Amino acid sequence: MNCLGCNLANKNEPVKVVFEDDYVCCFLDHDPYNEGHVLILPKKHIYDVEELDEDTALSIMKASMLISKAIKRLFNPDGITICQNGGVFNELTHYHMHVVPRYKNQSFATFYSDEDVYIEEEDKLLNIKRKLVEAINSF
């Protein structure tokens, strides 16, 4: 596969998986906006939202709900933003959904900037992964 999204979703590239099922793989964003920022990718190649089949779409929504509950429990955010960028804004050229914990007075405009907003160290990412997996498994 030459699609980076396919390689990530099928764990042919290193990812910190917090949840997966037959249709999707959910893992920590490598350059998170905030702690707990998760990406949801279908395991089969899908470019844009209108290409989703019913089973994959349902799996994505169920995963976003489960991950949101875990993020709320662990990080106590003021809110969660769930977004998907399509067309020319889909930098992976593979459908992916962001689940991002957000805090009051935090401008989301920086999410779409080219500047690094927040970078976490590897051991911190592994700790966040462990906590999210434990929280998700508790539901």
CATH number for the domain that contains residue 83: 3.30.428.10
CB atoms within 10 A of CB 120: 18
- Domain, as residue range, for 83: 4-109
Is pLDDT at 113 greater than 80 in this prediction? Answer: no
118 in any annotated domain: no
67 in any annotated domain: yes
Is pLDDT at 119 greater than 90 in this prediction? Answer: no
Q: Lowest-pLDDT range, 31-45, 92-106, 110-124?
A: 110-124
135 in any annotated domain: no
Is pLDDT at 117 greater than 60 in this prediction? Answer: no
- Residues of the chain with pLDDT > 70, as a percent, come to 91
Is pLDDT at 110 greater than 70 in this prediction? Answer: no
CB of 13 within 8 A of CB of 25?
A: no
**Average pLDDT for the chain:** 91
Closest to 52 in 3D by CA, of 8, 11, 61, 37: 61
Predicted TM-score (pTM) of this structure = 0.89
Instruction: Give the pLDDT score at 1.
Output: 60
117 in any annotated domain: no
136 in any annotated domain: no
43 in any annotated domain: yes
30 in any annotated domain: yes
Q: Render the burial of 40-68: b for 16+ CB within 10 Å, e for the rest.
A: bbbbebbeeeeebeeebbebbeebbebbb
Counted domains in the chain: 1
- Residues of the chain with pLDDT > 90, as a percent, come to 78
Instruction: Give the pLDDT score at 114.
Output: 56
57 in any annotated domain: yes
